[in-house]
Amino acid sequence: MIETSQIRTHMEVVGKDDSHLGKVDHVLGNEIQLTKAMAVGPHHLIPISWVASVDEKVHLTLTTDEAKKGWRELH
């Protein structure tokens, strides 16, 4: 199980295909809020359950495309 304390602001989030998904804005309970792209549009939220591992990056169990299809928007 991933400790949310390992996930820090501005860490890069990548899919299991090692493709860039976004950067961590902060952790909200059991979700990670990603930073807005160029400060426009909604924030995107992904569940902590999608996190496979954390080192210098947050690695997901899904590909970047799969994550984009399943993320939640926060307006």
The structural domains of the chain, ordered by start, are 11-74 (2.30.30.240)
Categorize the per-residue pLDDT at 55 as very low, low, confident or very high, splitting at 50, 70 and 90: very high
- Asked if residues 46 and 71 have their Cβ atoms less than 8 Å apart, the reply is yes
Would you call 67 helix, strand, or coil by DSSP? helix
- The model scores a pTM over 0.85: yes
For residues 41-55, average pLDDT:
94
44 CA to centre of own chain? 8
Among all chains, which residue has been given the structure tokens 């996190």?
51
Please state whether beta strands 12-14 and 57-60 pair in parallel, antiparallel, or not at all (unpaired). Answer: parallel
Categorize the per-residue pLDDT at 24 as very low, low, confident or very high, splitting at 50, 70 and 90: very high
CA pair distance 31, 24, nearest whole angstrom: 10
Q: What percentage of the chain carries pLDDT values higher than 90?
A: 81
